[in-house]
Amino acid sequence: MDSEWSSDFVFPLSKMLRSDESREFITKQVKSICEKNMEMLECLQKCPISNENEILRMGIKPWEGICNNLRVLETQIGCWKRNIEIISQDCSFESQQLRHSTELLTHNVSITLISMICEHLKHLSICSVDKYGKYCGGVSQRVCK
């Protein structure tokens, strides 16, 4: 699906949910990623403040909600896995907008385009959270926010 890459921005588990791996395996992987992210954050706290440091922290940010809600997340993985394709389909317009604005940025760096990317990312995020709630209930919606 064309929108898979952008859904990883909004919901970093997307790739795992599309895999043939079991719920238990995915849970183990998520726990491992959370542990490694904590190690990385501890390491980054010892480093001087820099743009690179901030970029690395931003890369970890999407995982915070997942890692902070690991127990609840485990109960939702099955539903998310069953519905990942329909959720991606339901949010394909928002995903295509994000992809298009990101591609424009590769040709012309501007504050306007960066602002547009942020806006499209926000729309994709809202759509994704709403659809996870629609297909998997309010618990999923709260975990994804």
32-54 per-position pLDDT tens digit: 989 999 999 999 999 998 888 88
Quick one: pLDDT at residue 134? 94
Quick one: pLDDT at residue 1? 39
For the chain, what are the domain ranges? 4-144
Q: How far is the CA of 28 from the CAs of 74, 83, 108, 136, 141, in angstroms?
A: 10, 21, 41, 21, 22
Quick one: pLDDT at residue 7? 52
Which of the residues in the chain have pLDDT under 70?
1-11, 143-145
Number of C-beta neighbours around residue 101 at 10 A? 19
Quick one: pLDDT at residue 69? 85
Return the DSSP state at 49.
P
Surface-to-core class of residue 30, CB atoms within 10 Å of its CB (0-12 exposed, 13-18 middle, 19+ buried):
buried
- Provide the token pair at 61: 């940010």
Name which of 110, 92, 90 is nearest 101 in CA terms. Answer: 110
CA 17/CA 27 separation, integer angstroms? 11
Whether the CB-CB separation of 15 and 8 falls below 8 Å is answered with yes
Whether the CB-CB separation of 76 and 140 falls below 8 Å is answered with yes
